[in-house]
Amino acid sequence: MAHKENQKAFVVTFPLHTEKWQEDRIDKMMRMLTTFYNDRQRKLVRRYIYLSHSKAYKEAKGKGVVAFKNYMKEYGFSQYGLDAFFKADTKGALYQCGLNSMFLQYLSQCAWSAWDKKLFGKGDFVKTDKVVNIFCSRNKKERFCGFDYDLSTFTISIKSTCTKKIICTIPFVVNKKSDYELFALSQRICRIGIVRKLIRGKYKYYVQFTFDGVPYNKGRNIGTGIVGIDPGPSKIAIVGDNKVEIAKLTPNIEEDERKTARLKRKLDRSRRATNPHMYKEDGTIIKGQRQTCFSKAYNETRKQLADAQRKLAAKRKIAHNELANTLLEYGDTFKVEANSYKSMQARAKATSMTKSGRIRSKKRYGKSIKNRAPSEFLVILKNKLLYYPKGKYYDVPSSYACTQFDFTNESFTEHKISERRIVTSDGIQHNRDTLAAFNIKNAIVNETSAKKKKITKSKEFFDIVKMKASYNKFCVMERYLLSV
């Protein structure tokens, strides 16, 4: 389950050595959870549609967020309301199969996360066709509802809380030569989960242990000083006390776009052949029609596409971790501009023309964000800093306008995206991204200012004294970077 913000925890996944009948039993439990979750979500969607047409709903929404939250809470749309809704009238087949209230509580939290974004965030819809590939239980008074484990024999047991019997006992594989895994197993366990992953077209089964504390340190030390980072869709500019660098995210990791396109075309041909009711005579799709037939070839092709995306995501995560470990040596306090990647990947609204008279494409940075995943990298860096007592991470609001600020004359000047070189008032030419990272490094930010969404840009948000003291050193390091 969810941890408190100040509580440190880490997850270690171990592969399970399963037999065929054990896999069938786990699959059955996950199918039942999938059916149950989607059924509950459909009922909540119908309840929400009914409420949204009422006069009281519109009045509550017009009174503000607090009034709207209280109104929705009366009809069960809250974390505890959904928890009670998911646990009501379930002591039948679910409990007989070994699925207990802890498993259902996890599902209710997933459901509330979706509804919280839909009602009070930026979520557009709630999925009612989710596939559940995990069931887990948290530590409650040093006991796990639905699980038993033995670290002396490295086994995990699934037990029924209804019949008090063990359903199956499965050994999990531990690398006894790994100091990381052995250290983790010596810590307090706060959650256990069984996870199913689709790998190379077949399901593999794992046990996830969530441990309290920080993971094993492999001898990696954190640096000292402040580091400013200006993240972009595919590159990040880094300015530290002794380092200026422009790092590319996920270098040498490229998607095989031709292979992906072929698989998607094959899926489309199969879908059109087996679901003719979805399309008009001219080949366009009929609004409201859904795919009902999934052929064997269609499912196999979809598995191939999913496996290709899985491999790409795994390589991307490894590259992000390597870059984050390198950045930890530059300093212990990181200031990062909080960019909105959702707005970056959105298409441009205005129509413009090129010099040759052709209409310019409205595409922006969607492809780069998909391939480079800059937001995932920042999450990894932030989580790594939590494991060090000196580590600090600050979000610098984009409304500070760090790219526009010129501290040499304490003014703001807007620049086009095409301007990759910026000349300050002292006549020195700078790289646009490194200059922004230098301003971010010297930005004055605290927890209060980081939470504000709209801030009027002002020179008061920058430490001018520190900027003047470190400017010459920054120019030397930047000049060396640009000359390489």
Q: Is a pLDDT exceeding 60 seen at residue 175?
A: yes
Portion of the chain with pLDDT greater than 70, in percent: 95
Long-range CB contact pairs, 195-199, < 8 A, 24+: 195/13, 195/133, 195/134, 196/26, 196/27, 196/30, 196/133, 196/134, 197/133, 198/303, 198/306, 198/307, 198/310, 199/307, 199/310
CA distances to 316, 322, 375, 405 from 344, rounded to whole Å, are 20, 25, 12, 21
| H-helix or E-strand spanning residue 15 | strand 9-15
CB 60 within 8 A of CB 71: yes
- Residue in the block written with tokens 């504390």: 213
Q: Is a pLDDT exceeding 90 seen at residue 374?
A: yes
Sorted by sequence, the CB contacts under 8 Å of residue 391 that are 6+ apart come out as 222, 332, 333, 384, 385
Read off the pLDDT of residues 428-437 as tens digits, 9 standing for 90 and up: 999 999 999 9
Please compute the mean of the pLDDT values over residues 10-37 and round it to a whole number: 94
CB 161 within 8 A of CB 96: no
Give the other-Cβ count within 10 Å of 383's Cβ: 13
CB 246 within 8 A of CB 481: yes
CA distance 273 to 263: 15
Q: State whether the Cα torsion 473-379-448-221 is positive or negative.
A: negative
- Tell me, what amino acid is at 400? Y
Read off the pLDDT of residues 234-248 as tens digits, 9 standing for 90 and up: 999 999 999 999 999
Q: Is a pLDDT exceeding 80 seen at residue 5?
A: no
Q: Is a pLDDT exceeding 70 seen at residue 484?
A: no
Average pLDDT for the chain: 89
Read off the pLDDT of residues 278-287 as tens digits, 9 standing for 90 and up: 999 999 999 9
CB 396 within 8 A of CB 444: no
CA distance 156 to 17: 10
Please compute the mean of the pLDDT values over residues 70-94 and round it to a whole number: 86
CA distance 214 to 183: 10
Read off the pLDDT of residues 436-456 as tens digits, 9 standing for 90 and up: 999 999 999 876 565 555 677
Selection from 88, 67, 74, 75 nearest residue 46 by Cα: 75
CA distance 185 to 278: 52
Please compute the mean of the pLDDT values over residues 248-253 and round it to a whole number: 91
Selection from 240, 185, 225, 227 nearest residue 207 by Cα: 185
CA distances to 327, 373, 387 from 323, rounded to whole Å, are 6, 13, 17
What's the confidence (pLDDT) of residue 455? 75
Burial of 115 (0-12, 13-18, 19+ CB in 10 A): buried
Read off the pLDDT of residues 256-269 as tens digits, 9 standing for 90 and up: 999 999 999 999 99
CB 13 within 8 A of CB 208: yes
Dihedral over alpha carbons 254, 256, 258, 261 (to 10 degrees): -100
Please compute the mean of the pLDDT values over residues 157-168 and round it to a whole number: 83
- Tell me, what amino acid is at 54? S
Which of these ranges, 60-64, 236-240, 322-326, has the smallest mean pLDDT?
60-64
- Which residues in 53-103 belong to E strands, given as ranges? none
- Which residues in 60-213 belong to E strands, given as ranges? 134-140, 143-144, 147-150, 155-159, 166-171, 189-199, 202-212
CA distance 237 to 241: 14
Task: Give the Cα-Cα-Cα angle 227, 229, 234 (nearest 5 degrees).
Answer: 145
CA distances to 62, 315, 331, 449 from 402, rounded to whole Å, are 35, 32, 20, 15
Please compute the mean of the pLDDT values over residues 305-315 and round it to a whole number: 94
Q: Is a pLDDT exceeding 50 seen at residue 376?
A: yes
Which of these ranges, 7-11, 197-201, 242-246, 379-383, has the smallest mean pLDDT?
7-11
What's the confidence (pLDDT) of residue 33? 92
**3-state SS, one letter per residue, for 199-243:** ECCEEEEEEEEEEECCCCCCCCCCCCCEEEEEECCCEEEEECCCC
Q: pLDDT band for position 146 (50/70/90)?
A: confident
Portion of the chain with pLDDT greater than 90, in percent: 63
Pairing of strands 333-338, 226-231: parallel
